[in-house]
Chains A and B, each alone.
Chain A
Amino acid sequence: MNRLAIMKAVTGPVGDHPGRIFMSLLGIALGVALGVSIHLVNRAAVGEFSQAVRNVSGQADLTVQGPATGMNEAIYPYLANMPEVALASPVLEVEAKLPGRSETLRLLGVDIFRASRLLPLAIENGDGNPAAASMLDPQAVFLSASAAQWLGVRPGDNLTLQAGLAPVQLRLAGILPQESYRQRLGVMDIGAAQWRFLSLGRISRVDLRLGNGVPVDTFRRKLAASLPPGVEAIKPAAAGERAASLSRAYRVNLNVLAMVALFTGAFLVFTTQAMTVLRRRAQIALLRVLGVTRSTLSWLLLAQGAAIGAVGAALGIVLGYLVAFHGLRHFGADLGGGYFHNVAQATIAAPGSLAVFFALGICAAMLGALAPAIESARTPPAQALKPGDRERALARAGITWPGLALLVLGAALTPLPPVAGLPLFGYLSIALMLLGTVLLMPALAARSFGWLPAFRSVPLQIARAQLHGAPGRAAISMGAIVVSFSLMVAMAIMVGSFRHSVEHWLEEILPADLYLRAAQRVETAFINPETQTLIRQTPGIRQADFLRSSDLLLRPGAAPVTLIARPLMGRTISEILPLTETGAARVSGDPPPAWISEAVADLYGYRTGQRIELPIGGAQVEFTVAGIWRDYARQSGAIAIDRALYIQLTADWRADSAALWLESGISADAVTALLRERIPNGAWLDIAQPGKIRAISLEIFDRSFAVTYILEAVAVLIGLLGVSSSFGSEALARRNEFGMLRHIGMSRRQIGAMFGLEGAMISTLGALVGLLLGWLIALILILVVNRQSFHWSMELYPPWQLLFGLSASLILAASFTAVLAGRHAMSCDPVHAVREDW
């Protein structure tokens, strides 16, 4: 007997039932596709971002970076005169507001004489004449091609930007080299930028090139010790890494979803292979009798799994490329997560990682094929050749202790801390719980169906007896349902809770009647003290709270924390901030209070009552942590302090935004109109009622979860494929049983109903277990994964209606699939079917 013949005997069913194999392929393909597309999109985003960072820092060895409000320019000559420094290039970064646009334009104010030795700034105006002659012109700005296109301007055109609430007129003097500056960006003279964007005396950073032979790290440490608080020396690459690490948790979450899809795909391979092997059990036993060794058989079956994996993975890579390409187009480089701004888009091929995904796909499929391969090879041929043995093959799976052990281990892992900022133990715990539950399914199926009372209806009774007597088969279908459904439930509960918490939080954080903002995330747009007085004196306004935000560097290398200065003294804090924890009342002599967000508490380990030092106004200032509040807006953390104290420390009277409370009976629209009229350039202010802000915020929330919803839908789809595949196999495997039932007088309809009822019972139990497991996973997602990834807490808020709707449609779909499969199996005549029996 040659190998080809063996192969044919084993893989026979592939030819017989291409549809089922196709579903296994699809499962693997979807998993791989998700992984590939997330990887590609993220690679594009991080790549673009790093390139952008490189281009604005050029070939600098080190960057001395101040907070967003800038640092005193005196640091520039200090650094330039250090003997180790060969070149110091000062930069003022301005996020310039554009009147009438919500997005901002990033402007770099540079000293061209210094910067041109670090940056690719070869600018010509086309006819060979040096456009950069005008680099020193205080009216001139050079834009990247993408920025010029975005603003619709050509060299020579004027453009209007905003400083404070006043316009700044600039002239587009030239276009930056396109190959170097793909992001939206402008460059102008640093002196002109300081002057025209009201930043005299401030610079954002100084890029340094060190002398030959100066060790960068040694010098960086020496320098760090002499820098004022809030100023750090970093390698330019670190800035890119920092941005990438901010989005890392989000990316890892997406990747885990992809892994889940792959896991489900592996499970699908398992169900298909298990069913195939069961059906071919007798043939396989015959092969053994004919002298094929045990290991040859196992390897053949494994190879079959690997082949499915290879084809599926190849399909997945192609699919992943397509998804990445379109995903970039429609969702942007951060897949809606909001981490990367101003990133142009490009999908980059990555052969190395594609190979990894290909291998993962094959491994998943082989993993799925492993158990059936071992099991079928291990069975003594004589036993396998006996009729009725198929169920025995599955009886082994009825042991409960491994499943229980995995569940307990999974639960035990949940309190462990994150690893390198990632909730690895949380993910592991979810994986263990999934696996444990799947292993428990046969025992669970046997017991549950045993509890069902005897039915008078014949199809119902036969269905019950079948499930009770042969729970192994049911367990496979239930496993498919439980895996996909529990994940769907978990995501639904998590996202539902999150959305509800965000909604609630938005109400708490927006107590005023009207909000006014100079610009979003911008240093150059602010409300000056005169305007603040004007706003306060506007008729109809009962109270106006002005807010100033800036950033604080609490730990070198970490992302800066947002400092929010707002009137807090003498206020009821719980009416202003959504507090989750309040410290003891303040004792006189204590340092002034600061309220920290949950992220600050998690990242820096601060606790209520603790004394902390914050670098404000160029000095370390001591504060007492008076409370912890929930903040979904700033993942790197936020600290709120009283504005009067902030002004005392920094002499910074500016404000970015204001919360306005109106006199009773005054309409917000009327006050808005009045404000726009009273304030010079008032039309440039964003004035919004809290309802609108809430609506916009929730819209952003939904958009950023759009990708999650898609992944969820894919997981469900894979699960349903699994159900339909296992029912299909089941129906085919029981063709002879159906034939027998026909012979003893059951109608086709009755058998169809019987099979449909089996499907309904299996899926009901699967859905129940899935709900339960999903609930547990949701708790892990909320309490461990989200808290450790994003440092925010949320209240559990299960979307009951959605869950019941999902359960009902799952049961319906499964039953329907079962009926279809049963009908297909009965399409041949009963005599034929019975004859197939041994």
Chain B
Amino acid sequence: MRRALSWLVILAMLWPRTFVQAEIVLPHDAGSHPDLRTEWWYVTGWLHAEDGRNFGFQITFFRSRNEESAENPSRFAPHQIILAHAAISDPSIGRLLGDQRAARAGFGLAEALEGKTDVWIDNWSLRQSGDGYTLSLPARDFRLALDFKPAQTPLLHGPGGLSRKGAGADASSHYYSLPQLAASGTLTHQDNSFSVTGTAWLDHEWSDSYLEQDAVGWDWTGLNLADGGALMLFRIRARNGSVRWAGGTYRKPDGTLTWFKPVDIRFTPLRHWRSPRNGTRYPVAWRINAGTLEFELEPMMDDQENDARATTGTIYWEGAVRAMEAGQEIGRGYLELTGYWRPLQL
């Protein structure tokens, strides 16, 4: 039954293709868009404890529209499915501590509200409050309670927030980020409670369509640069190993915005890590070229593989990374590698 939900992943994680026109209007678009098939709110970041320890964290709330039950008047009818992944990276453990949940929206037990970010499954929640966000996430092996304060304006990935995802003019999604979020709160794990502060990144993306036919997965990174800049880069890989599409957004500290074209971006693997659990080989260190930028990505630790088969039916790598330029750290963020375990397929 568990892995059985993998179709939801496919719905939830796949990139859009149909032509979407409306421009993003905030703050209203921070809420849910239940008419569209797929949506997620995704927060990652680096946290620092007072004793100097570093942690990475990743939480994602997915919403997936289910057409099959459209006519069912039951309050239990699964019109919308809410899923959530959460993981923390602690180098002293050497692998991710993860947890996941899934529920049908309804009865106030799991919902994704419209008009502002307010999404929850039981006692896992991500809510807009005041000018920031509050995350409450008591997971199986850890608890996260964090507040996020935006330091910068939202970063739209493409004109009007429309992010191209393929060669076809209709392949795009609504996509904005909140980089350089100031995070503070507590992280509890292994019977220790840490007061933490740090810098986080929030993505909110929604769309109505599927990954293109021959796409097998993507590589994505979102980096809070040390100088206050923000960088998001992705590429979609085709079955034959070629790059199907690529894109990204770079905002300099002064606010100058660059939207990259596919030809501007190059991902070069530097080092691979093989999962001892399933043998999957992930390129965990990279040289990245984007326009005039050139730097390397080094993971906080190699094993940041996330087994989400119970909810979204897939295994992927999602981990904290450092951006290094000539041996100097220029930024921190997250790297996501999907489709290496098995191709994401329809």
Binding site for B on A (CB under 8 A): 73, 76-77, 80-81, 90, 109, 111-114, 116, 121-124, 130-133, 135-138, 189-192, 194-195, 200-201
Contact = CB atoms under 8 A, between A and B. Distances in A.
Interface string B102-115: 11100111000000
Contacts of B74: 190-192, 194-195, 200
Given A77-B109, A90-B76, A136-B78, A192 B69 contact: yes
B7 interface: yes
Interface size class on chain B is 20 to 34
A497 to B, nearest CB: 52
Query: Which 10 pairs between the two chains have the least Cβ-Cβ distance?
Result: A130-B4, A132-B4, A191-B76, A191-B77, A77-B107, A121-B1, A191-B74, A194-B74, A132-B1, A133-B7
B107 A136 contact: no
Nearest to B121: A113
A403 to B, nearest CB: 68
B243 interface: no
A697 B5 CA distance: 49
Given A77-B107, A131-B4, A189 B78 contact: yes
Nearest to A114: B103
A562 to B, nearest CB: 28
A531 B3 CA distance: 45
Given A80-B107, A113-B104, A195-B72, A133 B77 contact: no
| Residue in B2, B74, B103 whose Cβ sees the most chain A Cβ within 10 Å | B74
Given A116-B2, A132-B5, 4 more contacts: A113-B81, A124-B4, A135-B4, A136-B68
| Residue in A73, A76, A113, A138 whose Cβ sees the most chain B Cβ within 10 Å | A113
B73 interface: yes
Given A116-B2, A131-B4, A200 B73 contact: yes
Contacts of B69: 136, 138, 191-192
Chain B residues touching A, majority SS: loop
B77 A112 contact: no
Contacts of B78: 136, 189, 191
A112 B73 CA distance: 18
A130 B6 contact: yes
Nearest to B75: A73
A201 B107 CA distance: 12
A195 B4 contact: no
Contacts of A81: 108-109
B54 interface: no
Contacts of A90: 76
B313 interface: yes
A133 B4 contact: yes
Contacts of A191: 69, 72, 74-78, 104
A112 B76 contact: no
Interface of B: 1-7, 66, 68-69, 72-78, 81, 102-104, 107-109, 122, 313
B14 to A, nearest CB: 15
Contacts of B5: 130, 132-133
A135 B109 contact: no
A138 B104 contact: no
Nearest to B7: A133
B1 A138 contact: no
A190 B78 CA distance: 9
Contacts of B109: 77, 80-81
Contacts of A114: 103
A81 B76 CA distance: 17
| Residue in B4, B122, B313 whose Cβ sees the most chain A Cβ within 10 Å | B4
Nearest to B69: A138
B66 A112 contact: no
A133 B313 CA distance: 10
Contacts of A73: 75-76, 107
A135 B7 CA distance: 11
Contacts of A132: 1, 4-5
A116 B108 contact: no
Contact of B6 (A111, A121, A133, A195): A133
A747 to B, nearest CB: 88
B128 to A, nearest CB: 22
Contacts of B76: 73, 90, 109, 111, 189-191, 194
B345 to A, nearest CB: 11
A703 B155 CA distance: 79
Contacts of A121: 1
Contacts of A109: 76
A195 B74 CA distance: 6
Contacts of A113: 81, 102-104
Contacts of A77: 107-109
B193 to A, nearest CB: 17
Nearest to A119: B1
Given A130-B6, A133-B7, A80 B122 contact: yes
A116 B1 contact: yes
B110 to A, nearest CB: 8
